[in-house]
Amino acid sequence: MGRVSAKSGWAGIRNDTEVTVVQARILFASAEAAPLAKVGGMADVVGSLPSVLRGFGQDVRIIMPFYGFLWEQFGEEPGQYRRSKEPIWAKQVMGQVAEIYESVLPGTDVPLYLVSHYCFAPHRIYYGEDEFWRFTFFANAVAEFAWTYYPWKPNIIHCHDWHTAMIPAWMHQASDIGTVFTIHNLAYQGPWRWQLERMTWIPWYFSAHNAMAAGILYADQVNTVSPTYAMEIRTPLHGEGLQDLLAWKGERLRGILNGIDLDKVDPSTDPALEATFSLSDLRGRAVNKAALQTQTGLAVNPEVFTLGMVARLVEQKGIDLLIQALDRFLAYSDAQCVVLGSGEAYYEGRIREMAERHPGKMSYQQGYQPKLAQLIYGGADAFLMPSRFEPCGISQMIAMRYGCVPIVRRTGGLVDTVSHHVPSKGIGTGYCFDRYEALDFYTCLARAWEAFQHKETWQALQKRGMATDFSWQRSALEYLRMYELILNLPLLPEATPSKGSEPVQGNSHSKITHDSNPPSPAKPRSTFPKR
Ligand SMILES: Nc1ncnc2c1ncn2[C@@H]1O[C@H](COP(=O)(O)OP(=O)(O)O[C@H]2O[C@H](CO)[C@@H](O)[C@H](O)[C@H]2O)[C@@H](O)[C@H]1O
């Protein structure tokens, strides 16, 4: 492939060495973006995918709420992140004034817009009686901003989960702004139609019964975060009541596997670890294991099988199975386990009780603790993910990159990312079970525990996981192909590999250059896929 330059029109292949492609303006709208505001995996995706897409020459930016806990992180003082002194945009939205400040996502070159209003002042992201109002307000502000901020008008708004799902409905008849809606979690669907009607304006053509359904119905393209989950949600078992709508969406619903940022998620440089390590030298893992055992009150012993789990403690994550199977497994074996996370009070209580029943063998660490999470990935021998359903899962990919063998239920993205260990054939990257049954999980734990006793094959298993390519490159290409379908313009040179091809290695995107201020590509609406 020759040199690639992003221009405002498709000029085809000019000669053997130069190809002209379009640069689109894409606005990611999300309630979370790592490292600023994170509850779960959606923050990881929104915090890492835009940089990769920018590497492909696209002008990608992020818009998110300016939460109260972020205010003290932005300012003029040393050590603080910079933002514009004054709002760059202000407007009446739902009877209140929304203001937007401009900044850059820390650690990247991705421009960031922060939507400010006193409803975001509390030091939390979710929950609270006004949760529906706050995110409907946010979505409304994003739509108004996209329509009226002339210095930078997006061609596509890329919306994430129910918090931004009304944007496709409002944009449905906008002639020059397309929408993509990504489902990270179908279980949370946002306000019902009657609640939306009380809070905001809904268009005359609106026929969705809640916010999530609106995103699916009106977005030009919809995706979820793994191919298997994209199939599963078309069925009553996983469709959360929206299976018919999702099945009707046809080819405009696809599964694009999440990736991880290999530069940030790297055991050879991670400052949160007690000792760094790499594929060629795993010795640091033993140091991390000892540190993990000490810090979490587990018996310090390099020989025992140490399990780890980092998750929101909600039904989705298979906590019921954990409670049923782990208690017996700890009683039966010399294994130990540390669980990090918070969530539903019932689950927190049961796990705490389990920790009290097995002192030195079981530890419960409550709260959101990113440093401890990394130590679990880098120190535990195996990682538990017995999910009831899993759109993709980021944790099992991080675990594999850190040599922590995943033990997972075969569902959603876990099917697409973890393969079962068969020692006789020297294949597999983890342990998998099918049915959502405590006995099956227990059996899987016992098999992994037995395999752990064989150090050489276990290390080979760890290394296969560490060597697996979970980079964003291939998935970013699939997102770009999806944007192309909306814009009906090429964002990538024709020869660029996409779905089904080998992962793009190295710095292929470093070949892309783009004009400093290219004009916006016009979006011919008539070319939109018709419903
Ligand atoms: N207590 C804690 N302390 C520190 N870190 C913690 C933590 N609890 C969780 N984390 C971190 O949050 C992330 C969890 O990501 P996951 O994708 O595994 O699950 P989640 O259900 O949140 O994401 C949803 O969105 C993502 C993104 O699309 C999908 O992969 C997934 O299937 C879907 O459920 C990991 O980076 C993990 O380390």
Indicate whether 327 and 231 sit together in one domain: no
**Ligand 1 in reach of 258 Cβ (< 6 A):** yes
Q: What percent of the chain has pLDDT over 70?
A: 89
The CB of 31 under 6 Å from ligand 1? The reply is: no
pLDDT given for residue 9 in this prediction: 36
Q: Is the CB of 340 under 6 A from ligand 1?
A: yes
Q: Check pLDDT > 60 for residue 528.
A: no
Verify whether ligand 1 is closer than 6 Å to residue 47 (CB atom).
no
Residue 517 domain flag? no
Residues 52 and 173 reside in one and the same domain: yes
Cα 226 to middle of ligand 1, angstroms: 15
Taking the CA of residue 370 as reference, the ligand 1 atom at the shortest distance is: 4
pLDDT at 318 over 50: yes
The stretch 427-436 carries a mean pLDDT of 97
Do 335 and 449 reside in the same domain of the chain?
Answer: yes
What's the rounded mean pLDDT across residues 268-281? 97
What is the phi/psi pair of residue 313, to 5°?
-85, 80
Mean pLDDT of all residues in 244-264: 96
Q: Token match 């809606």: residue? A: 181
Q: Please state the rounded mean pLDDT for residues 211-219.
A: 98
State which of 452, 467, 482 marks the end of a domain: 467
Answer yes or no: is the C-beta of 393 below 6 A from any ligand 1 atom. Answer: yes
Q: Compute the distance from residue 68 Cα to the ligand 1 centre, in Å.
A: 22
CA 5/CA 492 separation, integer angstroms: 10
Q: Is 474 helix (H, G, I), strand (E, B) or coil?
A: helix
Residue 3 reports pLDDT greater than 90: no
CA 64 – CA 62 distance, rounded (Å): 7
Q: Are 355 and 363 in contact (CB under 8 A)?
A: yes
* 241 occurs within a structural domain: yes
pLDDT, residue 486, reads: 95
Say yes or no: 397 and 253 in one domain. no
Residue 18 lies inside a defined structural domain of this protein = no
Q: Count the Cβ atoms, other than its own, within 10 Å of residue 116.
A: 21
Question: With a 6 A CB cut-off, is 318 part of the ligand 1 pocket?
Answer: no
On whether residue 275 sits in a domain, the answer given is: no
Nearest CA residue ID for atom 8, ligand 1: 311
Top mutation candidate among 395, 409, 415 for ligand 1, by most atoms within 8 Å of CB? 395
Q: What is the model's pLDDT at position 77?
A: 84
- Whole-angstrom distance, CA of residue 480 vs CA of residue 491: 7
**For ligand 1, mutation pick of 394, 398, 408 (most atoms within 8 Å of CB):** 394
Asked, for residue 528, whether it belongs to a domain, the answer is no
CA of 399 to the centre of ligand 1 (A): 12
Distance 480 CA to ligand 1 centre (A): 24
Domain that holds residue 398: 284-467
Atom of ligand 1 nearest to the CA of 39: 12
Of all protein residues, the one whose alpha carbon is nearest to atom 22 of ligand 1 is 40
Q: Please, are residues 297 and 388 in contact by the beta-carbon 8 Å criterion?
A: no
Query: Residue 62: its pLDDT value, please?
Result: 98
371 carries a ligand binding annotation? no
| β-pair partners for 310 | 340
Q: Are residues 480 and 456 in the same domain?
A: no
**366 Cβ closer than 6 Å to some ligand 1 atom:** no
- pLDDT at residue number 35: 95
What angle do the packed helices 438-452 and 319-332 form, to 10 degrees?
50
Here the tokens at position 430 are 């983890």
Last residue of a domain, one of 440, 467, 494: 467
Please indicate, yes or no, whether residues 497 and 427 belong to a single structural domain of this protein: no
> Ligand 1, closest atom to CA 385?
18
Residue 493: what pLDDT?
77
Structural tokens at position 312: 């929101």
Q: How many domains does the chain have?
A: 2
Whether residue 525 is contained in a domain is answered as no
492 three-class SS: coil
Asked if residue 349 and residue 225 are part of one domain, the reply reads no
Do 196 and 100 lie in a common domain?
A: yes
Do 216 and 98 share a structural domain?
A: yes
The one-character DSSP state at 184 is: S
- Ligand 1 atom 38: the closest Cα is on which residue? 395
Instruction: Tell me, using a 6 A CB cutoff, whether residue 390 lines ligand 1.
Output: yes
pLDDT tens digits, 72-111: 999 878 889 999 999 999 999 999 999 999 999 999 999 9
Q: How far is CA 482 from CA 158, 220, 247, 523, in A?
A: 11, 10, 18, 14
494 and 420 both lie in a single domain = no
pLDDT at residue 516 tops 90: no
For residues 126 and 224, membership in a common domain is answered with yes
Mean pLDDT, range 49-71, rounded to an integer: 97
What pLDDT does 278 receive?
A: 97
Model confidence pLDDT, tens digit, residues 378-410:
999 999 999 999 999 999 999 999 999 999 999
Is 516 contained in some domain?
no
Mean pLDDT is lowest, of 317-331, 359-373, 499-513, for 499-513
Phi, psi of 5 (to 5 degrees): -125, 140
* Averaged pLDDT of the chain: 90
CB 166 within 8 A of CB 211: yes
| CA 13–ligand 1 middle distance (angstroms) | 42
Contacts of 184 (CB under 8 A, 6+ apart): 41, 42, 45, 160, 161, 224, 225, 391, 392
- 95 and 134, same domain (yes or no): yes
Q: For 4-45, how does the pLDDT look when each residue is reduced to its tens digit (9 = 90+)?
A: 344 443 333 334 455 567 899 999 999 999 999 999 999 999
Task: Please choose from 32, 44, 296, 374 the residue to mutate so as to test ligand 1's pocket, defined by most ligand atoms within 8 A of CB.
Answer: 44
- Pick the more confident residue, 21 or 414: 414
Q: Is residue 143 in some structural domain? A: yes
User: pLDDT: is 516 or 26 the higher one?
Assistant: 26
- How far is 9 from 22, CA to CA, in rounded Å? 6
- CATH number of domain containing 477: 3.40.50.2000
pLDDT in tens, 153-177: 999 999 999 999 999 999 998 879 9
